[in-house]
Amino acid sequence: MAETGKFDVVVIGAGPGGYPAAIRATQRGATVAVVEKEKVGGTCLNWGCIPTKTLLASTELIAHAREAEKFGVKITGIEADWTAIMERKQSVTDTLVGGILQLLKANGIELVTGAAMINKDKNVVVQTADGERVLETSKVIIATGSDPAELPTFDFSQPSVMTSTDALALDHIPKSLIIVGSGVIGSEFACVFSTLGTEIVMLELMDRMLPTEDSRIAKQMKSSFRKMGVDVRTKTTVEEVLEYKPDSIKVKLSSGEELSAEKLLVSIGRKFNSAGLGLDELGVETDERGRIIVDQAMETSVDDIYAVGDVVGGILLAHTATFEGLVAAENVTGGNATMNYHVVPACIFTTPEIGSVGLNSDKAAEQGIDVIVSRFQFGALGKAMAMGEDYGFVQLVIDAKTDRVLGAQIMGPHASDLVHEVAVAMHLGATAEDIANTIHAHPSLPEAIMEAAEAAHGKAIHVAPPRKK
């Protein structure tokens, strides 16, 4: 006989969408259980955001050490210890996983380990290591996330072919690497391994790398990658695999060229984890890719069943999943919240970093909005020069009629931090003049945002005026 338990809300998935939803529902008085088949923290904490940023922290330190002499500091014997780097990555991850487990316990949330499905009565049936368990409930939040997408071109059982998850478990630094896809994941791994000495060829099917980013950002990032020694080839893909070996792979490119490397990393997006949940039987609507369809309240086509995070598609970011989870938790416990995607900052932890929010000029044009695009180069900023990180720029996209800030793209030092000033300004409906009239500390990196705002009205002090004809 199956073990049972009764809960007001059951959350399936304990990633950045699921565990905040569970905590918020508990804060609102509900009894809650969370089902997780792998590790709490989900992809972000265990196989994505945190592990990659931990690796990047190590490789960025190596890169800075190599340039120390430019700052008057002599360092010799710089060497990467891959085993120690990976041990630190795991330590950071384990510490954060432990923190989430403590939060769930402190909030009185029951964690059930196993694979879940929802039956016709909306109860959640979990296949645990000890047998089947039925969690009686009438309200469910699905937060099952996504996995790395695979291409049929490649045999992922071969040791030379990797997903991003596989790359985070490597026991050595590969001598050479082919990266298929130049999006966020591929670009961040390129920065990690190029710093460690891996010879990298990056292939992108589209006509530019980082194809979803602003065109100016994409162009300058390709130039930056070239300086790092990463060979970025756009309008190029793998036509077929010519040979698999335990320690290498040989492929034929769409250009006709044959290319060999020790490893090949496929980073072409994510696939939605909605299979096996019993959604068809319940009548929960999904699209042809398995994405769960939800409304602004994060509710599915079936009453009292909600879905959040990557599995609903949209903006596949951990912080978006968290806010979706909070909205779902409010509503599943009798609230009336809606999800607003107007201001969602996005960050890419490459070298240099990229931070963006809202519209870029191309998206504004698609929407028929007349905009002013104003820029300020970090090369003209005192703090950036002092740091030795004066590459890149701040770009503001401003409504030409109202002066309201509609978006920003930042490429340069601490871009992932700086973009939040613009995000807050957008959330409050601020204008470029509002930013320009706000005193910014000197010397500081946020001054670049102020300068870009001033430049929109021709008032920038540190930008040379156009030459008179």
Q: What is the pLDDT of residues 227-244, one digit of tens each?
A: 999 999 999 999 999 999
Categorize the per-residue pLDDT at 463 as very low, low, confident or very high, splitting at 50, 70 and 90.
confident
For the segment 217-233, the average pLDDT, to the nearest whole number, is 95
- Residue 468 has a pLDDT of 60
For the segment 260-270, the average pLDDT, to the nearest whole number, is 96
Q: Is residue 394 part of a domain?
A: yes
- 39, 127: one domain: yes
Q: Domain ends where: 268, 285, 312?
A: 268
Q: Is residue 462 part of a domain?
A: no
CATH of the domain at 186: 3.50.50.60
Active-site residue, from 172, 342, 440, 442? 442
Within the chain, how many helices (H) and strands (E) appear? 14, 24
Tokens of 146: 């996504």
Four-residue CA torsion sign, 51, 53, 54, 56: positive
Give the span between the Cα atoms of 442 and 459, in whole angstroms.
18
- 58, 170: one domain: no
Q: Is residue 181 part of a domain?
A: yes
Identity of the amino acid at 245? K
Other beta carbons less than 10 A from residue 334's beta carbon: 9
Identity of the amino acid at 194? S
Tokens of 214: 């602003």
Mean pLDDT of the chain: 95
Tokens of 178: 């082919």
- 356, 419: one domain: yes
**Statement: residue 466 has pLDDT above 70:** no
Q: Is residue 469 part of a domain?
A: no
- 248, 202: one domain: yes
- 421, 360: one domain: yes
Asked about 442 being catalytic, the answer comes back as yes
Maximum Cα interatomic distance, the chain, rounded to a whole number of Å: 88
* % of the chain at pLDDT higher than 90: 95
**Statement: residue 3 has pLDDT above 90:** no
8 Å CB contact between 332 and 9: yes
Give the full edge-to-edge strand order of the sheet including 248-253. 238-245, 248-253, 258-261
Q: Domain ends where: 241, 268, 295?
A: 268
Q: Domain ends where: 332, 365, 385?
A: 332
* Nearest alpha carbon to residue 381 among 316, 445, 454, 457: 445
Measured CA to CA in angstroms, residue 449 lies from 349, 359, 408, 423 at distances of: 19, 16, 9, 12
Do the strands 258-261 and 248-253 form a parallel or antiparallel pair, or are they unpaired? antiparallel
DSSP string, 24-72: HHHHTT--EEEEESS-TTHHHHHHSHHHHHHHHHHHHHHHHHHTGGGGT
Q: Tokens 């199956």 — which residue?
A: 2
- Residue 437 has a pLDDT of 97
Helix (H) / strand (E) element for 87: namely helix 82-106
Other beta carbons less than 10 A from residue 233's beta carbon: 17
- 279, 254: one domain: no
Tokens of 236: 């190029």
**Statement: residue 31 has pLDDT above 90:** yes
Give the span between the Cα atoms of 92 and 87, in whole angstroms.
9
**Statement: residue 37 has pLDDT above 50:** yes
- 28, 143: one domain: yes
- 247, 321: one domain: no
pLDDT tens track for 89-114: 999 999 999 999 999 999 999 999 99
Give the span between the Cα atoms of 110 and 122, in whole angstroms.
18
Q: Is residue 338 part of a domain?
A: no
Collapse the DSSP code of 108 into the 3-class scheme (helix H, G, I; strand E, B; otherwise coil) and give the result: coil
- 143, 34: one domain: yes
Give the span between the Cα atoms of 163 and 197, in whole angstroms.
20
Q: How many domains does the chain have?
A: 3
8 Å CB contact between 44 and 15: yes
Q: Tokens 């492929």 — which residue?
A: 251
Q: Is residue 340 part of a domain?
A: no
For the segment 264-289, the average pLDDT, to the nearest whole number, is 95
Q: Is residue 175 part of a domain?
A: yes
pLDDT tens track for 373-409: 999 999 999 999 999 999 999 999 999 999 999 999 9
Cβ-based neighbours of 365, under 8 Å, separated by 6 or more:
371
Q: Please state the pTM of the whole predicted model.
A: 0.94
Q: Is residue 133 part of a domain?
A: yes
Cβ-based neighbours of 357, under 8 Å, separated by 6 or more:
343, 344, 345, 346, 407, 408, 419, 422, 423, 426
- 194, 128: one domain: no
Measured CA to CA in angstroms, residue 200 lies from 191, 231, 261, 308, 400 at distances of: 10, 6, 9, 36, 43
For the segment 453-465, the average pLDDT, to the nearest whole number, is 86
Helix (H) / strand (E) element for 189: namely helix 184-195
CATH of the domain at 380: 3.30.390.30
Measured CA to CA in angstroms, residue 305 lies from 15, 191, 279, 319, 425 at distances of: 18, 41, 10, 21, 34
**Statement: residue 340 has pLDDT above 70:** yes
* Nearest alpha carbon to residue 419 among 439, 446, 456: 446
Give the span between the Cα atoms of 350 and 392, in whole angstroms.
12
- 220, 288: one domain: no
- 226, 182: one domain: yes
Q: Which residue segment(s) compose the domain that 439 sits in?
A: 346-455
Collapse the DSSP code of 331 into the 3-class scheme (helix H, G, I; strand E, B; otherwise coil) and give the result: helix
Four-residue CA torsion sign, 468, 360, 412, 429: positive
8 Å CB contact between 120 and 282: yes
- Residue 9 has a pLDDT of 98
